[in-house]
Structures are given as C-alpha cells and as structure tokens.
C-alpha cells in the first residue's frame, strides 16, 4: 500500500515550495484548459467578426485580432512548455520511485530519460526481447 505524505489532491497550486511564477503558471494553464476559456475565445472571435462591418473591415480592425492572437500564442507556448517540463519531471519521479520499490526492476532504468536516443532504443529492444521470452516461457492455457 502506498504511503501518504499528508498532501491532498488539488493542493499543489498553494504548495509553499512553489515560486509565485509556478503558482501563476499552474493557475493559468488550468484556466486556459477549461471549457469556459474556449467559450470566451469564441465570443471574442464572434464579437470581432460582427464588428467588421462597423469598421469597414479596415486594416486596423484586422490588426487587432492578429496582434492579440499572436501575443497570446507567444506567451502560451512558454507557459505550456513550463508546465509540460514540470509534469514530465513529476511523472518521471513517480516512475523512478516505482522502479526503485520493485526488487525485480532494473535500476538502470531509473535515469533512462537522461540517456541518448540510441541507448534508449537499445534498452527498449532488450525489454521487448525479455517480454517476448517471458511470454514464450509461460504455458499456454486452453481456456477450460
């Protein structure tokens, strides 16, 4: 059974170990992924499109949406990358903990994400061969 360390689901954004930026990035990424954010983005597009005739589809009218979407996209790329890096590191740490806890596991796999592509592919092929050998060693049941 897993040990509890006192943390609870959903408590991460207010973790005192996080920087203000990390808390901000977490909240923004959650908000941006919410259906309300999509609805709001659609509303902005509809309002922009409806105002087109009022501004005679002027170049400034087009510039507003182009500039706005460019800025949002530029910032979101970095925010998403930041969150992806953090989530990947956390997931890797959880997997490392599982590998460490299982006595039959190969502990060299714990830091495999730091290896080169060729090494990872070689390890993957070795694991496939072990899995194929393991399944070949098991008796085939006839289903009765």
Helices (runs of H) and strands (runs of E) counted in the chain: 4, 0
Are 67 and 77 spatial neighbours (Cβ–Cβ below 8 Å)?
Answer: no
Residue 11 has pLDDT above 50, yes or no: no
Q: Token digits for 132?
A: 């194929």
All structural domains of the chain with their residue ranges = 19-91, 102-135
**How far apart are the C-alpha atoms of 32 and 21, rounded to whole Å?**
16
Q: Does the predicted model carry a pTM greater than 0.75?
A: no
Residue 133 three-state SS:
helix
Are 89 and 72 spatial neighbours (Cβ–Cβ below 8 Å)?
Answer: no
Are 26 and 13 spatial neighbours (Cβ–Cβ below 8 Å)?
Answer: yes
pLDDT top residue among 134 and 63? 63
Percent of the chain whose predicted confidence (pLDDT) is above 90: 51
Give the pLDDT confidence of 14-61 residue by residue, as tens digits: 677 889 998 999 999 999 999 999 999 999 999 999 999 999 999 999
Give the pLDDT confidence of 68-111 residue by residue, as tens digits: 999 999 999 999 999 999 999 999 999 889 988 988 888 888 88
Q: Token digits for 74?
A: 């530029």
């Amino acid at each position: 059974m897993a040990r509890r360390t006192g943390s609870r689901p959903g408590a991460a954004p207010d973790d005192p170990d996080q920087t203000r930026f990390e808390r901000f990035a977490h909240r923004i990424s959650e908000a941006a992924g919410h259906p309300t954010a999509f609805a709001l983005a659609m509303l902005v597009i509809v309002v922009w499109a409806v105002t087109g005739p009022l501004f005679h589809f002027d170049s400034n009218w087009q510039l507003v949406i182009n500039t706005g979407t460019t800025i949002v996209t530029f910032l979101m790329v970095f925010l998403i990358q930041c969150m992806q890096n953090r989530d990947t590191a956390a997931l890797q740490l959880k997997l490392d903990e599982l590998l460490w806890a299982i006595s039959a596991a190969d502990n060299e796999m714990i830091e495999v994400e730091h290896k080169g592509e060729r090494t990872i592919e070689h390890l993957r092929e070795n694991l496939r061969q072990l899995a194929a050998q393991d399944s070949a060693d098991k008796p085939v049941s006839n289903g009765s």
